[in-house]
Structure 1
Amino acid sequence: MVRPLAVDVDGTLTRPKPDRGVDPRVFEALRAYSEEAPVVVATGKAFPYPVALCEFVGLPIRVVAENGGVVCIEQGDGDDPYGGGRFGDGVVYNGDREAADAVARAYEAEGHALGWGAVDLVNRWRETEIAVARDQPLAPLERVAAAHGQEVVDTGYAYHVKSPDVDKDIGLETAADRLGYGPGDFLAVGDSENDAEMFGVAGESWAVANADDAALSAADFVTDAAYADGFLEALERATE
């Protein structure tokens, strides 16, 4: 039986840095996989980004966004993209945007910035956390976050300020339940410390070769190839 798939985006479906683009070769791979088992896009990006990815690739909208803070799972085959009731319980919010905003205000009051410029598209549609550019000072961000009961996770693309009890493992558990699976039924592929918790609850986990130490340590297997090449390798080896 082909396992349902939970897959990260940045660093996993993308080309090598500094290119942030999704490698177009993964589109058909994801579509083909979705014909055998559900595909859940699990990312640290703001909620609209994985929804748009699913829409344009042609996948049912099954997403874990904002490091588990937001979950939205389309049930059924998704043939009617605007059919009523297809999302069951609707959008599930696990995170706390108000607490994250308090961290942002305190961080900025100390003279720091979120680092995205005047038009902050990174956080504009974010609903349960905030993201800070990695060229901003980390130590004061971690201190302010801790004072507000939040934590900072470095995804390799941004510092994410989020609730400490919310990770991709919580998101995967929510998604799996709505699809009629357990998290242990899933194959998970990722590259970062925000994937490590998801690896811990998935039945089989693969880190692509460019993964950070946390993901490499948590994964069951590591690919020889990096970035999207590693993802494609993981799919091939996991379904042999």
Structure 2
Amino acid sequence: MVPPLALDIDGTLTTPTGRIDPRVFELLPGWEAPVVFATGKAFPYPVALAHFLGREETVIAENGGVAYVDGETTTVGDPDAARAVVEAFRERGGEVGWGDGDTVNRWRETEVALSPDADESLLREVAAAAGGDVEVVDTGYAYHVKSVGVSKGRALEVVADALGLDPAAFVAVGDSENDVSTFGVAGESYAVANADAAAREAAGTVLDEGFMDGTVSVLTELRERGE
């Protein structure tokens, strides 16, 4: 039997150029255990990925701010506090950086994401001045302004409970700071070779291969182990 999975998306199921690796569509549709897509992206993105893979839409979005399992949505965090920080950042000359339309935040419910080109030092200064209830997380793909205590790991506990599983039954694969909490909850954790320092330190294993190459190596090993 293969174990349930908690998989990050960006940097983990993608190519170095940010595209979904086609091997996702070969390996995951038939995975014979729950697969949770746990991402910093807004809620519709992992739902769409699960849908097109023909899998149950069991997802964690917005760094744990949104969890969806068995048709039930759980949201945590204070989006108004995050938005207030970003507005104060703008008033001091900062730019969110996504341009007109901003589809990155259009469907985001619990946090605000800013471009990697945003002024990080100013953003962190403004967030710190807000009183400690809001933090900035750098995923390598965006700066996420979110409530303190919201995490993928806590959301995985919610999802696992809804599925009747122990979080320690999960194998987690990820690449950045926002995956550290998932690694702390899952029974096995792997950081792909392109992972940042926080993820590499927290993971049980740091893989030799990066991006989807690393994830494929994990999935292959798990399948062979389960035979």
**How would you bin the TM-score normalised by the shorter chain?**
over 0.9
Residue matched to 2:53: 57
Write the mapping of 1:15-164 to structure 2, written as runs, cut at 5 A.
Answer: 15-16=15-16, 19-33=17-31, 36-74=32-70, 87=71, 90-148=72-130, 149-164=133-148
Residue matched to 1:233: 217
SS of the residue 1:151 aligns to:
strand
What displacement does 1:2 show?
2.2
Q: Which amino acid aligns with 2:199?
A: A
What displacement does 1:146 show?
2.1
What displacement does 1:118 show?
1.7
CA deviation vs aligned residue, 1:138-161 (integer Å, no higher than 9, x gap): 011112112222101110100001
* TM-score calculated relative to the size of structure 2: 0.95
Is contact 1:168–1:197 with CA below 8 Å preserved after alignment? yes
Is contact 1:48–1:125 with CA below 8 Å preserved after alignment? yes
Distance in structure 2 (CA, Å) of the matches to 1:213 and 1:111 = 30
Large movers: runs of 4+ above 4 Å: none
What displacement does 1:123 show?
0.5
Give unpaired runs (5+ residues) of structure 1: 75-86
- The structure 2 residue matched to 1:183, chosen from 153, 164, 167, is 167
Does 2:199 correspond to 1:215?
Answer: yes
Is contact 1:14–1:22 with CA below 8 Å preserved after alignment? yes
What displacement does 1:13 show?
0.2
What displacement does 1:67 show?
0.3
What displacement does 1:28 show?
2.0
- The structure 1 residue matched to 2:182, chosen from 183, 198, 205, is 198
What displacement does 1:237 show?
2.0
Distance in structure 2 (CA, Å) of the matches to 1:207 and 1:27 = 21
* Matched residue count: 222
What displacement does 1:49 show?
0.4
Distance in structure 2 (CA, Å) of the matches to 1:50 and 1:176 = 17
CA deviation vs aligned residue, 1:124-180 (integer Å, no higher than 9, x gap): 000000001111110111121122221011101000011110111111111111111
CA deviation vs aligned residue, 1:76-116 (integer Å, no higher than 9, x gap): xxxxxxxxxxx2xx210012211111111100010111000
CA RMSD of aligned residues (A): 1.0
Residue matched to 1:77: none
What displacement does 1:221 show?
1.1
Q: Which amino acid aligns with 2:51?
A: E
Is contact 1:100–1:162 with CA below 8 Å preserved after alignment? yes
Residue matched to 1:3: 3
Distance in structure 2 (CA, Å) of the matches to 1:220 and 1:153 = 22
